[in-house]
Amino acid sequence: MDVIEAEEGKTRFFVPRQDSGHAFPPGTGRIFYNRRMELNRDATVLLTSVLNPREYLDAMGATGARGIRVASECGIPVTINDRDPEAVELIRENANHAGLQVEVTGMNIHTLLSCRRFDAVDIDPYGSPAPYCDSAIRGTLRYLMVTATDTAPLCGAHQKAGIRRYFAHPVNNEYHAETGLRTLLAFVVRETVKYDRGIRPLFCFSREHYVRAHFRLENGAGRADRAVAGIGYIHQCSACPHRVEQYGILPLSEPCTSCGSVTVPIGPLWLGAIQDPDIISAMLDRLPDQPLNTARELGSLLHTLQDELPTSSFYDYHMLAKQGKVSPKPIGDVIAGILDAGYRASRTHYTGTGIRTDAPYQVIMEILKG
Ligand SMILES: C[S@@+](CC[C@H](N)C(=O)[O-])C[C@H]1O[C@@H](n2cnc3c(N)ncnc32)[C@H](O)[C@@H]1O
Ligand SMILES: [Zn+2]
């Protein structure tokens, strides 16, 4: 295989040479490697160094970049798996090159996780993680880490695929990045609670073409019931920006209380918190000591996550300005206006034009028009 050396964090490893002229260079190498996922891998390294699991499984390793980095930068026992024999060969070469004692396996994830369990399990498939979540959950003792790159199904752009994979009704609106993430979280919760196990999101975000979620699993039917209680729907008015949250497993649609139009249920969604504030603070504390190439972007993401209000959706104030036929002001002025009016407000990591607030959308409209 024609390989070149890559460097992420303080780790060097080989990746297949790619055709940089291609629309999607990662698709041109024999084994998959996407440079644009470096922040995703940096986040895993930073979080894993905070959680300090007893061992970590990179269940779909490809080049092994993620697992090799966890072994070398977090110093914990690592197993890297891939069902592709050529990937296994490259992972072995990368482990030797880095001078690491890493266990390498070449199994189908379903077979591997039917007979072994790991303290932390990471799944990073092509596209949807839906077919792998059940096996991953059965093989996880405490920490489950999931990447999804099927944002079109999750966010409602490919609605039928979203329904098939997640048995949910996603809607492609201005806050679809958030409902896409929450649709995935609700799915993982449903896949977990059937085993009388609870699950808590620790650190979850949506970025570019992917969603990344990290969870803590806990045993017990009571904990599972508490996780189920975090599931519900957003009822989005079909005619105006008004929406309401409803906890529960069945959507109970009522007309919009603002304009009387029909509302559309989006979900089931995870409506609870998507971060653990102590984990985010610990990651921020550790960030200066961890040599990560994306430290600046990751730090800015973590600060935004730390400040986000715990609402389950946001308003896109540029869209509100367009509807109100006014030109948008700087976001800082709009947020200051909402705070002055006695409400809470924050930015959101999903988009630079998103505002999270407990104020009705009409308050934002008045500020935009004022
Ligand atoms: C997107 S790549 C992983 C990228 C890698 N984690 C990284 O950060 O660079 C997905 C990998 O999953 C492997 N894979 C797909 N289905 C699998 C299965 N059922 N069991 C094990 N590995 C599988 C593929 O061979 C491929 O190498
Ligand atoms: Zn309405």
The 3 state secondary structure assigned to the chain is CCEEEEEECCEEEEEECCCCCCCCHHHHCCCCCCHHHHHHHHHHHHHHHHHCCCCEEECCCCCCHHHHHHHHHHCCCEEEECCCHHHHHHHHHHHHHCCCCCEEECCCHHHHHHHCCEEEEEECCCCCCHHHHHHHHHCEEEEEEEEECCHHHHCCCCHHHHHHHHCCECCCCCCHHHHHHHHHHHHHHHHHHCCCEEEEEEEEEEECCEEEEEEEEEECHHHHHHHHCCEEEEEEECCCCCEEEEECCCCCCCCCCCCCCCEEEEEEEECCCCECHHHHHHHHHHHHHCCCCCHHHHHHHHHHHHHCCCCCCCEEHHHHHHHCCCCCCCHHHHHHHHHHCCCCEEEECCEEEEEEECCCHHHHHHHHHC
The angle at the Cα of 131, spanning 125 to 133, to the nearest 5 degrees, equals 80
Is the overall model pTM greater than 0.85, yes or no?
A: yes
Q: What is the pLDDT of residues 46-83, one digit of tens each?
A: 999 999 999 999 999 999 999 999 999 999 999 999 99
Cα separation, 246 vs 232, in Å, equals 5
Cα separation, 6 vs 90, in Å, equals 13
71, 95, 140 from 186: Cα distances, Å: 30, 36, 18
Q: How confident is the model at residue 239 (pLDDT cuts 50, 70, 90)?
A: very high
CA of 83 to the centre of ligand 1 (A): 8
Q: What's the average model confidence in pLDDT over 119-129?
A: 98
Nearest alpha carbon, ligand 1 atom 6 = 61
**Whether residue 80 has its Cβ less than 6 Å from ligand 1:** no
**Whether residue 108 has its Cβ less than 6 Å from ligand 1:** yes
CA of 82 to the centre of ligand 1 (A): 6
CA of 173 to the centre of ligand 1 (A): 31
Mutate to test the pocket of ligand 1, among 31, 83, 294 (most ligand atoms within 8 A of CB): 83
The answer, yes or no, to whether residue 370 has pLDDT greater than 90, is no
Q: How confident is the model at residue 287 (pLDDT cuts 50, 70, 90)?
A: very high
Q: How confident is the model at residue 27 (pLDDT cuts 50, 70, 90)?
A: confident
CB 308 within 8 A of CB 356: yes
Cα separation, 343 vs 346, in Å, equals 10
CB 217 within 8 A of CB 301: no
For the chain, the average pLDDT equals 96
In this structure, of 21-25, 152-156, 210-214, the range with the lowest mean pLDDT score is 21-25
Q: Give the residue carrying structure tokens 């969870």.
A: 215
Ligand nearest to the CA of 41: 1
CA 204 to chain centre: 4
β pairing state of 231-237 and 243-247: antiparallel
> At residue 172, what is the residue type?
N
Ligand nearest to the CA of 261: 2
Encoded tokens for 311 = 């609402």
> At residue 342, what is the residue type?
G
> At residue 62, what is the residue type?
A
Mutate to test the pocket of ligand 1, among 1, 15, 31, 32 (most ligand atoms within 8 A of CB): 32
Specify the pLDDT at position 317.
97
Cα separation, 249 vs 272, in Å, equals 14
**Whether residue 126 has its Cβ less than 6 Å from ligand 1:** yes
CA of 27 to the centre of ligand 1 (A): 13
CA of 243 to the centre of ligand 2 (A): 8
Q: How confident is the model at residue 136 (pLDDT cuts 50, 70, 90)?
A: very high
Q: Which residues pair with 79 in a beta bridge?
A: 57, 103
CA of 206 to the centre of ligand 1 (A): 20
Specify the pLDDT at position 23.
85
CA of 359 to the centre of ligand 2 (A): 15
Cα separation, 243 vs 253, in Å, equals 11
User: How far apart, in Å, do the first and last CA atoms of the chain sit?
Assistant: 63
Ligand nearest to the CA of 258: 2
Specify the pLDDT at position 20.
86
Q: What's the average model confidence in pLDDT over 126-130?
A: 97
Cα separation, 233 vs 246, in Å, equals 5
**Whether residue 62 has its Cβ less than 6 Å from ligand 1:** yes
**Whether residue 32 has its Cβ less than 6 Å from ligand 1:** yes
Ligand nearest to the CA of 91: 1
Can you tell me which atom of ligand 1 is nearest the CA of 125?
10
In terms of residues, how long is the chain?
Answer: 370
**Whether residue 69 has its Cβ less than 6 Å from ligand 1:** no
CB 180 within 8 A of CB 170: yes
CA of 62 to the centre of ligand 1 (A): 5
* Domains of the chain, first to last: 3-307 (3.40.50.150), 315-369 (3.30.56.70)
**Whether residue 210 has its Cβ less than 6 Å from ligand 1:** no
